Homo-oligomer: A and B are copies of this chain.
Amino acid sequence: MTENVTVKTLARELNVSIATVSKALNDSHEISIETKQKVLALAKKLKYERNPSASNLRSQKTKTIAVIVPEIANSFFSLAINGIEEIARKRDYHVLIYQTHENSEIETAFTESLVCGRVDGILISISSSTNSSSHFKSLVKKIPVVFFDRALDDIDAIKVTTDDYQSAYQATLHLIENGCKNIAYLSALSKLDTGKKRIQGYFDALKNKGLSFNKGLMVTHDPDRDKTYNRIKNLLIIQKPDAIISSVEEMVIPAYNACKALDLRIPDDVKILSFSNLSTAALLNPSLTTITQPAFEIGQEAAGFLFKLLDKKYITTEEIPVMKSVLIKRDSTSGHT
């Protein structure tokens, strides 16, 4: 192992001080153009690489942001991360990714391991099992944080979300217009803003169209996949709904499977639609009607705001957009031919 090349090496070689080298590398105005060129040239020649730890320690900046999401293996989040990453790359920032697997203790542990200067800022979409906001309240005081998609209403912070109420309302309306009268709802994220608004949109659409709702029509998500599947199956057997709205992508696959198992035809016996960013939605059997969120753009927006915070720019509430989801109608909710 040859000796590491540091600013000291460059300084020695060029007969200047390490301060000069450091300033030259940071393109300081205090250094003449000729000296800068000399330094840069030698740095390139000796393949000098700035030591990030030392730099971070001194400057108290890490050029790194953290992204905390429930799960990467989820089309919405992987697309959102793509959006975040695009913005981060433009600013030469590194991206640290953490998955909570919907576990709020892991979530807390992650955030706590981050506040002490490992990252400059955090982008987070909170876990479905999180029900207390106190931890996040103290977090946002310590470090720039932007929430995306999943947030809690009593936290005063920047949140980039979608029009969950509107899109759930619209989706329910779509089913009603196609003749459904007994619409079930697969519920998740009910502790979060996101989930609450989606349910409310569903409720209000039912009410405004004079449809009744009974508790049995609501099935909640369980971390245990089999449980979720069985709940959906029971729903289909007992309530015999003519439509199902899935509030999350993870519940629509078991819904399809349950229909298959019970020999129920989609959309003839039961129509199904789901909040989803599945790339294969159009190719499913039958093709799935989705409420698709602009995942990539949400990532971009959220990252954009985080960088504004890092730049100490003031952000007004009005400039934070509510992103628009789109209802893509496909065969799984089509009316009778």
Contacts and interface: CB of A to CB of B under 8 A. Distances in A.
Copies of this chain, complex-wide, total: 2
Given A278-B280, A280-B253, A53 B62 contact: yes
A53 B51 contact: no
B94 A94 contact: no
Contacts of A256: 283
Contact of A79 (B54, B73, B257): B73
Nearest to A66: B94
Interface stretch (A112-120, A203-211, A212-220): A112-120
A72 B62 contact: no
A56 interface: yes
A81 interface: yes
Most buried by B among A95, A99, A287: A99
A116 B284 contact: no
- Band of interface residues on A: 35 or more
A255 to B, nearest CB: 10
Interface string A28-57: 000000000000000000000111111011
Interface in A96-140: 96-99, 112-113, 115-118
Contacts of A117: 49, 51-53
Given A53-B117, A116-B51, A285-B286, A95 B94 contact: no
Most buried by B among A52, A79, A99, A115: A52
Contacts of A170: none
A269 to B, nearest CB: 17
Given A253-B283, A283-B284, A96 B95 contact: yes
A78 interface: yes
A22 interface: no
A293 to B, nearest CB: 14
Contacts of A301: none
A82 interface: yes
Contacts of A79: 73
A149 interface: no
A15 interface: no
A96 B94 contact: yes
Given A73-B78, A78-B72, A49 B99 contact: no
Instruction: List the 4 closest A-B pairs by CB distance, nearest first.
Output: A49-B116, A285-B285, A53-B56, A53-B57
